[in-house]
Amino acid sequence: MHTASTFIVMRGYPGTGKSVIARAIANALHGPLIDRDILRQVAVNVFGSHPDIGRFSYELMFALTKEQLRLGLSVVIDTTLTYRITYEQARNIAEEFHVPMLVVHCQCSPELQRQRIEGRKGQVSPFQITSWEEWQLWKPRFEDFDDHGCVLDTSQPLEESLSKVMDTIRALHQHDTHSSYSLDERTHSLLD
């Protein structure tokens, strides 16, 4: 699928299938996937444990996002989008670069989420939740806000979820006044 740039922001509880969907979207758009968990793990590997590692990983994620959007690419960021302030930062970046932003909100039943979380043991970074008890302690951090996103039931087949996202992206570009900003104009502005 060839479209103008789109900024895709994943959202959802751990174990809801965000990373699987994020990879599929990035592959379909031929755009970069920026995974906050990977950035955070690299930061810990280099700098050790530090109270600002979380904030640093968000800042790095958004800096990399801006560079990809500056190049005219669609970008997918894989994060839980736990806090409203993170959503607002993402929205400000989309406005700065005149690209539509789509929040892809992944959901599934608590039973499936629990099965996925508990099935992670031994295959994830230290930052990922691997027990239902740990998730219950972490869950109150999630802020409730309207992200105007595309809600996916990730218990459905991946192809169905991806099709829904791609249809939503097409609709965004049909209604977005910025999508007329052509590749030639974008390339010209990069050279100025």
Q: What is the DSSP string of 119-131?
A: TTTTSS-TTS--S
Q: One-letter amino acid identity for 131?
A: S
Per the CB < 8 A criterion, the answer to whether 127 and 14 are in contact is no
Q: Can you give the pLDDT of all 192 residues of the chain as single tens digits? A: 445 899 999 999 999 999 999 999 999 999 999 999 999 989 999 988 888 998 999 999 999 999 999 999 999 999 999 999 999 999 999 999 999 999 999 999 999 999 999 887 655 566 778 889 989 998 999 999 898 899 999 999 999 999 999 999 999 988 865 443 333 333 233 333
Burial of 184 (0-12, 13-18, 19+ CB in 10 A): exposed
Q: Which CATH architecture has domain 7-176?
A: 3-Layer(aba) Sandwich (3.40)
CA distance 45 to 149: 34
Ranges of H-type helices in the chain: 18-29, 36-47, 53-70, 84-96, 110-118, 132-138, 158-175, 183-191
CA 99 to each of CA 7, 106, 137, 186: distance values in angstroms, whole numbers, following the listed order: 7, 22, 36, 12
